[in-house]
Structure 1
């Protein structure tokens, strides 16, 4: 008989949902390269995020990227350069290890603010078989509207109280709090929580604390 890989006393959630382009992938590096510098990349990405979080109902992702580039004074070629480098998105250290550790115990899903094409291409960078990949295009809304998170839960057949979310942006907390998803924030660069956002249950600068947090999921529900 093969020995169990579940640590003694571990109680995992039934499903773990992930932000993709910040929590698992270092998309900012590709934005900076397409923009020509880190400073320009930050300005472009900040404008894109402002447009995304403000629009709610889905507007084509590529359209928002181009509009943000114009608003931030980027060259017309920048959006094409971003898409050309899309399949080189770097994976954060510890991301694959976390997914492989969870896969025997939990359903795994992506909830990402992206087009269907680019979202599924980015999800493939992790090299695992996802149980669900939900993009804003497919859900019809951008996060932090609660509908993309709920769409993933519906596809998985899991209730929010039996699932957890790994966020990459503090804005995710607006949506996950409405849905009832306990949340770990992979806050890589130590950003402040957006004004008015409920705090995550736990946050860290790496993904390392997420696994022990998820292993004690059920017992923490009783707190």
Structure 2
């Protein structure tokens, strides 16, 4: 399903770890070679998502604890989460992201990030994205307008509060805003607060609910569609 051609948002809010970043390869690389018969990085990451989305009320629990818990529950040792947390700075944006963020900024669209992450790790990774955009484009002063972490909000997505916090900081209404989901749970989460939602489904995740995004793409350009001028 495609987004309405005439919808040009005042703001776009992104999921960080899948909507903007290719975090999946780092999860895979963090599993010791001696444990790769137990689970793949994708299996571990999917289980982490399930653990996070099933927290009662989605109340914030330290992100690093959930990473460790999800690893232990599928039989991985503590070495895997220790390696993952250590190498979070190695996570890079999807290849198309820097140019697209530059283009959206030229269009005058406010840009924000809502991430299910701790303050420390979230802001570090967002700073890395900003640095890469500045290095790879002509926008040498690029920064996001707003960042909201789960720790700051007190809740994990898809609880409404992180999305609402971003809207308040951006100074826009929900129906003026497009949310770029990275995982299936973000689709009803952002939709329920009134945002229009597209899904950057780079890794081909299965949809786990009946709420459809306006558009689903296998890269950010395809997901944004007509929003890009």
Structure 1 segment 150-165 matched on structure 2, within 5 A: 150-165=164-179
Measured after TM superposition, the shift of residue 62 of structure 1 is 0.6
The one-character-per-residue Cα deviations of 1:62-97 (angstroms, maximum 9, x if unpaired) are 111111111111121211111111111021011111
Residue 63 of structure 1 aligns to a residue whose secondary structure is helix
Counterpart contact for 1:23–1:168, Cα < 8 Å: yes
Task: Give the match for residue 124 of structure 1.
Answer: 127
Counterpart contact for 2:21–2:91, Cα < 8 Å: yes
Task: Give the match for residue 217 of structure 2.
Answer: 204
Task: Give the match for residue 5 of structure 1.
Answer: none
CA distance in 2, matches of 1:202, 1:212: 8
CA distance in 1, matches of 2:72, 2:225: 43
Give the structure-1-normalised TM-score. 0.87
- Over 4 Å off, 4+ runs: none
Measured after TM superposition, the shift of residue 212 of structure 1 is 3.8
Measured after TM superposition, the shift of residue 215 of structure 1 is 4.5
The number of residue pairs the alignment matches comes to 207
Task: Give the match for residue 62 of structure 1.
Answer: 64
Alpha carbons of 1:192 and 1:41: their partners in 2 closer, same or farther (altered >3 Å)?
closer
Task: Give the match for residue 161 of structure 2.
Answer: 147
CA distance in 2, matches of 1:10, 1:201: 13
The answer to whether structure 1 residue 91 and structure 2 residue 93 are counterparts is yes
Structure 1 segment 68-107 matched on structure 2, within 5 A: 68-104=70-106, 105-107=108-110
Alpha carbons of 1:194 and 1:11: their partners in 2 closer, same or farther (altered >3 Å)?
closer
The answer to whether structure 1 residue 169 and structure 2 residue 183 are counterparts is yes
Measured after TM superposition, the shift of residue 46 of structure 1 is 2.0
Task: Give the match for residue 41 of structure 2.
Answer: 41
